[in-house]
Amino acid sequence: MNETILYSLGGLLALAVAVLVALKPTRKPTLTALVWVAMLVRRAWWWLVFRVTWKGLARESGLSKRRTKRVKRAGVGEESIEKWRDPRLKRVKTSAHSVTLKVRTRRGQALADLEAFAPKLAATYQADSYRVYPAKRRPGSTVMFELVMRDLITKPATAVMPEPRMQTETVLLGRRQNGKPFHLQIEQRHTLVVGASGAGKGSFLWGIVGSLSPAISVDAVRAFGIDLKGGMELMMGAPLFTEIAAKADHAVAMLRQLVTIADERTEALQGISRNHKPGPGDPLYLLVIDELASLTAYADPEIKKEAERLLKRLLSIGRAVGVVVCAFVQDPRKEVIDMRGLFTQTIALRVRSAMETNMVLGDGMATQAAAHRILKAAQGTAWIIDEDGSTDRIRADYWPDELIRRLASLYPATPDLVTIPDAVDASGMPLSLTDGGAR
Ligand SMILES: Nc1ncnc2c1ncn2[C@@H]1O[C@H](COP(=O)(O)OP(=O)(O)OP(=O)(O)O)[C@@H](O)[C@H]1O
């Protein structure tokens, strides 16, 4: 091990022991102080390790370039000396759980070479996860690596009642891998959520609908649902929906209705505003499609064709005029969601292969946002792409059935708008409105 690291570590330990001796270790404030010191020592250790080992790692991994120079020395003659050009480690920033490196390319190096280095960097320093994002200054030549040294989202969290205020722009869904809250943009976005069976798509579905429920109750949002698996998922919060379609022909009629609304709004907003701003009585229309494939791939060919046509039209014209789509799907194969490009944001929960990650998040994303490596036990965990193009790992909060039912009874959609004509249970029996909540 490098001597500098050894000496520095020794110094830090000595400091920690000095603090220990100076304070009495059994008192509670002392214990807090000790934890604090331990954290500082760990952060200092990380800082040192990265600072001291960076060049060696860059050289071993082929990121640096070696050149030999011949120099003349008086009395010695000509001599060759070796010089390295390394990508420059401009900053090392540590927090209680992560290390962020700011690295500038060396001369003649492409930014993509540095970005592609992230998985090796994370493996070398045994990081639990990582993300790569552009630096604020000189983003053409400087990249940020965030290495998560202690995973803050391994433990699941349960959603709580949303604040009783009308919000339509974003919803709070859970936590980012650095522990900060994760908000999903709803207005002006069509969202596609992909995840294998049991990956936790329900957390996103109810995170969106549940968080919008205060706005639903004042008619600032109207939620429409398509659930061709007999309405089983959406019926849990049925009162939150203006309408739920559990059969394909009803779904097509619903799509047609929403396309008409979007067309009318487009005409009404022409020359007045480029973006619709929802409010009570002038709502954001939210179409939630649980298992998109059942509509676009496995349905009757005629219905499938018409549903696809209408959905593509809605995805093309709806966003700016306040008619947005949130679709959930298990299988990201192209034939299932060939309108994937029309969605303005995609979320990848656990998927089955690197190829599927690329299909959902975009070509080449599997190395930066390895959704196929999410563990089965980490339900609700997903990779997203932020507005600035950087990737991040997040975990949605879990929505228990009781919470959904409570919200449905507290914030129902305007009652005279609610119609659920063809929702059925697993045995084919019609489901009543009260199955979803106390109304
Ligand atoms: N955010 C979460 N945190 C912890 N556990 C979760 C979370 N979301 C879901 N789970 C657990 O995972 C199980 C499966 O979740 P969910 O039904 O949402 O998966 P899904 O992706 O919708 O699957 P399918 O497509 O088969 O319906 C849940 O019953 C719950 O126990």
CATH number, position 399: 3.40.50.300
Beta bridge partners of 243: 224, 419
Predicted local distance difference test score (pLDDT) of residue 27 = 67
pLDDT per position as a tens digit, 32-52: 777 888 888 889 999 999 999
Instruction: Tell me whether residue 162 is in a domain.
Output: no
How many domains would you assign to the chain?
3
Q: Is residue 155 in a domain? A: no
* In a shared domain, residues 234 and 382: yes
Distance 350 CA to ligand 1 centre (A): 11
Tell me which residue range forms the domain holding 30: 1-40
Q: Whole-number mean pLDDT of the chain?
A: 86
Q: For atom 26 of ligand 1, which residue has the closest CA?
A: 197
Domain end marker among 88, 119, 150: 150
Q: How far is the CA of 377 from the centre of ligand 1 (A)?
A: 10
Q: Are residues 409 and 329 in the same domain?
A: yes
- Same domain as 71, residue 13: no
DSSP string spanning 325-360? EEEEES---TTT-TTGGG-SEEEE-S-SSHHHHHHH
pLDDT at res. 25 = 62
Does 47 reside within a domain? Answer: no
- Ligand 1: centre distance to CA 437 (Å): 21
* 270/380 same-domain check: yes
Q: Write the CATH number for 73.
A: 3.30.980
Structure confidence by residue, pLDDT tens digits, 90-127: 999 999 889 999 999 999 898 988 988 988 999 999 99
Binding site as annotated, residues for ATP: 195-202
Say yes or no: 127 and 215 in one domain: no
Residue 87 in 3-state DSSP? coil
Q: Pick out the residues of the known binding site.
A: 195-202
Which atom of ligand 1 lies closest to the CA of 199? 21
Comparing 354-358, 369-373, 427-431, the range with the smallest average pLDDT is 427-431
- Choosing from 93, 121, 150, the residue where a domain stops is 150
In a domain, 101, yes or no: yes
Asked if residue 414 belongs to a domain, the reply is yes
427 and 378 within one domain: yes
Per-residue pLDDT at 435: 38
Residue 60 lies in a domain: no
Instruction: Judge if 104 and 204 occupy the same domain.
Output: no
Domain match, 81 and 32 both: no
Cβ–ligand 1 distance for 232 under 6 Å, the answer: no
Query: Scanning the structure block, which residue is given the tokens 């280095």?
Result: 117
Distance 24 CA to ligand 1 centre (A): 47
Residue 108 sits in the same domain as residue 10:
no
Q: Are residues 333 and 417 both part of a single domain?
A: yes
| Stated pTM of the model | 0.80
Residue 382 has pLDDT above 60, yes or no: yes
pLDDT over 80 at 430, yes or no: no
If asked whether residues 34 and 144 sit together in one domain, one would say no
Question: Is 161 inside any structural domain?
Answer: no
**380 CA → ligand 1 middle, Å:** 7
Residue 335, pLDDT above cutoff 60:
no
Ligand 1 pocket, 201 CB below 6 A?
yes
Same domain for 179 and 146: no
ipTM of the complex: 0.97
- Among 188, 181, 220, 169, CA closest to 320: 188
Inform me whether the pLDDT recorded for 223 exceeds 50: yes
What stretches of 211-272 adopt beta strand conformation (E)? 221-227, 241-245
3-class DSSP state of 92: strand
pLDDT value at 421 more than 60: no
Distance 271 CA to ligand 1 centre (A): 45
Establish whether residue 198 lines the binding site of ligand 1, counting it when its CB lies within 6 angstroms of any ligand atom.
yes
In a domain, 165, yes or no: no
pLDDT number for residue 33: 75
**Mutation to probe ligand 1, out of 154, 175, 193, 203 (largest number of atoms < 8 A from CB):** 203
Indicate if ligand 1 lies below 6 Å from the C-beta of 179: no
State pLDDT tens for residues 268-322: 888 777 788 999 999 999 999 998 888 876 668 888 889 999 999 999 999 999 9
Q: For 419, list phi and psi in degrees, rounded to 5.
A: -135, 130
Closest atom of ligand 1 relative to the 381 alpha carbon: 1
Q: What is the pLDDT of residues 151-183, one digit of tens each?
A: 889 899 999 999 888 899 999 999 998 888 999
Question: Cα 258 vs. chain centroid, distance in angstroms?
Answer: 27
